[in-house]
Amino acid sequence: MKHLIAAATVAVFSAGTAMAEKVTLNMPSTFPGSLIQLGQAGVKLQDTLNLISGGDIEMKFFEPNALVPPLEIYDNVSNGSVDAGWSVPGYWGSKNSAYNLFAAVPFGPSAGEYLAWHWYAGGEEMMNEIYNRDGIQSLVCGVIAPEASGWFRKEINSPEDLKGLKMRFFGLGAKVMQKLGVDTQLLAGGDIYPALERGTIDATEFSMPAIDQNLGFYNIAKHYYFPGWHQQSTIQELLISKAKWDGMTDAQRAMISTACRANTATQLAEGEAIQGKALAEMEANGVTIHYWSDDMLNTFRGAWDEVVAEEIAANPDFKNVWDSMQQFRGEYAKWKNLGYLK
Amino acid sequence: MKHLIAAATVAVFSAGTAMAEKVTLNMPSTFPGSLIQLGQAGVKLQDTLNLISGGDIEMKFFEPNALVPPLEIYDNVSNGSVDAGWSVPGYWGSKNSAYNLFAAVPFGPSAGEYLAWHWYAGGEEMMNEIYNRDGIQSLVCGVIAPEASGWFRKEINSPEDLKGLKMRFFGLGAKVMQKLGVDTQLLAGGDIYPALERGTIDATEFSMPAIDQNLGFYNIAKHYYFPGWHQQSTIQELLISKAKWDGMTDAQRAMISTACRANTATQLAEGEAIQGKALAEMEANGVTIHYWSDDMLNTFRGAWDEVVAEEIAANPDFKNVWDSMQQFRGEYAKWKNLGYLK
């Protein structure tokens, strides 16, 4: 009888793609699961995938440090110690500076243009040419709305006011700030508030209004600057061990990429939805909101041009990716100027 | 032995949600499957859903008129003659004028803001309060980039130049044009070119550059106007018989909504990606591209304010939806002005 049941079971299992061998994906995260947008989108990916795959894929989100420290996710996916990771490509800029360009670019594309380049002008493909060298597959799996430029204890009225400031800053934007005499440090989200409170730093950027509000910076620094020229949008990614990715069925890969694209649309919509309320609440709490003068934006832009030239000279991968993005942006600029109401 | 196999089969079937009763969704489309973005996104939805559901859902895209005429999809989904439909809510404005507001709004939100309102500020929910009355469930299932303002044989330099013009126009924008003395007609995509050629119409709007290029209007009318104030973005929808939707498992509903959200991200990215090239090619083909003067845009906006007032007075549903959208847009305006580089 056991034999008969086994035969029947096999027959049923082979009837549909849904009965492929189950894939387990343990996924450590760079961001706490409770963090609006950045972490919550990773939890949502897990929930969606587990529901739509009907048991074919079992994804498990792990809080930062529960399996591995956030900044060691790359190495652990690369060597196969973990199956996957929830992150942002810019966290791996020390492995290859070109990763920064896949995540968030100063004076760079905002969400729609960025996704257009990633999916229709070779961005995601170039990204994987680099990741694959280390045995990793990366899927664009989310996009967040623009960040704010940051929190300052004192008003910034000229480039002079930036000199000597100690400020938390991330990614390529940090290199721009260094050119302007800012002493930058990269602190994880949870470490910023105490550093501001103790005076270890004078200023910080972290993310968009709804997230920054969550972290309470406005209790200490009252001047909040816009626009976030350094991150007009930021791509989130799902890292997967390349061997694991290659071993899946077409249907399993499609479930993952479909869940990632759904995540992207949802995150974009949420990011646009929740900033207005956060801004209004922060103003009610005594925050002064500023928009950078043209002079200040030109100063940032000039320093960014110097940073780009240096990065291009230092890394051929950076140059290739930059050239691809610039070519696309040239074509897109005509459309952007015509298509949209100003 | 049959009994034993049946028992084993049942055991396996009940083990995972993936083994739920199969759902068939025959889906007639408003747009040909070959039409860039508008139709192709419907075919893509079909392919994605069939692949990720592993046989749990079988969706079949039908070309316009193969099952039912495009403008009869609503009634057929409502009475259960077809399971589903691929469309745009604005096509049902004659059933209830509020449907227009879920699809594309003159001087209205562009993609990110529109999705934010639909998914996080009650838009999609209000939409279904109306659809459900007729036994239909509608899912936001795509969004297209801004349209162009249209094709004219002669330059339009003042509101006077519009008077008496015969023009193909769609939706709420058509009511605006009527206020300005334009004689509007709604023609399906395939009927526009011959009407322009014969001189039955003097001008036409249809969609975005890459789609308009496909339809060849530039061979006859050489003046192409931007921005498309009447449709800064357009929502596509999947209609499903409400009884069918309610009878599905949670997993099946999640597969459909996940595939729809994925479709939305993909369509948005593609829409942003393909316009620049189309514009460059049309200019090479002798098209003159114009951006409306502030005077002309103010004229359109003034006429639109009159149309809104009339629609609000005529239909309480329109008023409710309009108020919801305006409330959200008020909050969003602060964010839009601060968050983005100008």
Integer Cα distance of A153 and A162 in angstroms: 12
Give CA torsion, residues A17, A122, A264, A49, to 10 deg. Answer: 20
Chain A, 116-175: which have a CB under 8 Å from a chain B CB? Answer: 116-121, 145-146, 148
Assess B291–A contact: CB distance below 8 Å, yes or no: yes
DSSP B175-200: HHHHHTT-EEE---HHHHHHHHHHTS
Q: What CA–CA distances, in Å, run from A207 to A215, A224, A229?
A: 10, 12, 12
Integer Cα distance of B201 and B158 in angstroms: 19
What is the full per-residue pLDDT of chain A (342 aa) written as tens digits? 334 444 444 334 444 444 568 999 999 999 999 999 999 999 999 999 999 999 999 999 999 999 999 999 999 999 999 999 999 999 999 999 999 999 999 999 999 999 999 999 999 999 999 999 999 999 999 999 899 999 999 999 999 999 999 999 988 999 999 999 999 998 878 889 999 999 999 999 999 999 999 899 999 999 999 999 999 999 999 999 999 999 999 999 999 999 999 999 999 999 999 999 999 999 999 999 999 999 999 999 999 999 999 999 999 999 999 999 999 999 999 999 999 998
Choose among A308, A266, A260: nearest CA to A105.
Answer: A308
pLDDT at A188: 79
Could you tell me if B121 and A273 are in contact, meaning their C-beta atoms sit under 8 angstroms apart? yes
Chain A, 26-85: which have a CB under 8 Å from a chain B CB? Answer: 48, 51-56
Choose among A270, A209, A265, A268: nearest CA to A234.
Answer: A268
Integer Cα distance of B332 and B342 in angstroms: 16
Q: How is residue A26 written in tokens? A: 């343990």
Answer yes or no: do B291 and A208 touch at CB < 8 A: no
Judge whether A205 is annotated as a binding position.
Answer: yes
Q: B22-145+237-273 and B150-231+280-329 share one CATH topology? A: yes
Answer yes or no: do B265 and A268 touch at CB < 8 A: yes
Residue B216 phi/psi, 5-degree rounding, is 80, 15
Burial of A300 (0-12, 13-18, 19+ CB in 10 A): buried
Q: What CA–CA distances, in Å, run from B76 to B66, B88, B246?
A: 13, 15, 18
Integer Cα distance of B323 and B332 in angstroms: 14
Q: What is the pLDDT of residues A329-341, one digit of tens each?
A: 999 999 999 999 9
Could you tell me if A170 and A186 are in contact, meaning their C-beta atoms sit under 8 angstroms apart? yes
Integer Cα distance of A41 and A58 in angstroms: 17
Please name the member of B268, B276, B332 whose beta carbon is closest to the beta carbon of A115.
Answer: B268
Judging contacts by C-beta atoms under 8 Å, the chain B residues touching residue A7 are: 5
Judging contacts by C-beta atoms under 8 Å, the chain B residues touching residue A16 are: 18, 54-56
- For the domain made up of A150-231+275-339, give the CATH fold: D-Maltodextrin-Binding Protein; domain 2 (3.40.190)
Single-letter amino acid, residue A340 = Y
Q: Which CATH architecture has domain B22-145+237-273?
A: 3-Layer(aba) Sandwich (3.40)
Judging contacts by C-beta atoms under 8 Å, the chain B residues touching residue A113 are: 272
Integer Cα distance of B266 and A110 in angstroms: 15
Q: How is residue A54 written in tokens? A: 């009907």
pLDDT at A19: 55
Which CATH superfamily includes the segment(s) B150-231+280-329? Periplasmic binding protein-like II (3.40.190.10)
Residues comprising chain A, all counted: 342
CA-based nearest residue in chain A for residue B55 = A16
Could you tell me if B226 and B289 are in contact, meaning their C-beta atoms sit under 8 angstroms apart? yes
Look up the CATH number of domain A21-142+232-273: 3.40.190.170
Give CA torsion, residues B132, B137, B142, B148, to 10 deg. Answer: -40
What is the full per-residue pLDDT of chain B (342 aa) written as tens digits? 334 444 344 334 444 444 568 999 999 999 999 999 999 999 999 999 999 999 999 999 999 999 999 999 999 999 999 999 999 999 999 999 999 999 999 999 999 999 999 999 999 999 999 999 999 999 999 999 899 999 999 999 999 999 999 999 988 999 999 999 999 998 888 899 999 999 999 999 999 999 999 899 999 999 999 999 999 999 999 999 999 999 999 999 999 999 999 999 999 999 999 999 999 999 999 999 999 999 999 999 999 999 999 999 999 999 999 999 999 999 999 999 999 998
All structural domains of chain A with their residue ranges: 21-142+232-273, 150-231+275-339
DSSP B254-276: HHHHHHHHHHHHHHHHHHHHSHH
pLDDT at B195: 96
Could you tell me if A77 and A138 are in contact, meaning their C-beta atoms sit under 8 angstroms apart? no
Half-sphere exposure of B219 (CA within 13 A, CB side): 11
DSSP-based three-state secondary structure for A202: coil
For residue B306, give every residue at least 6 positions away whose Cβ sits within 8 Å of its Cβ, in sequence order, or none.
B179
pLDDT at B19: 55
For residue B302, give every residue at least 6 positions away whose Cβ sits within 8 Å of its Cβ, in sequence order, or none.
none
Residue B11 phi/psi, 5-degree rounding, is -60, -45
pLDDT at B11: 38
- Count CB pairs under 8 A between chains A and B: 243
Could you tell me if B282 and B221 are in contact, meaning their C-beta atoms sit under 8 angstroms apart? no
Please name the member of A232, A271, A274 whose beta carbon is closest to the beta carbon of B341.
Answer: A232
Integer Cα distance of A101 and A171 in angstroms: 10
Peptide bond into A227 cis (omega under 30): yes
DSSP B93-117: TTT-GGGGGGT--TT---HHHHHHH
Q: If you ran DSSP here, which 8-state letter would residue B29 be given?
A: B
Q: What CA–CA distances, in Å, run from A178 to A163, A175, A226?
A: 9, 5, 19
Judge whether B231 is annotated as a binding position.
Answer: yes
Assess A250–B contact: CB distance below 8 Å, yes or no: yes
Integer Cα distance of B46 and A136 in angstroms: 30
Judging contacts by C-beta atoms under 8 Å, the chain A residues touching residue B56 are: 16, 18, 54
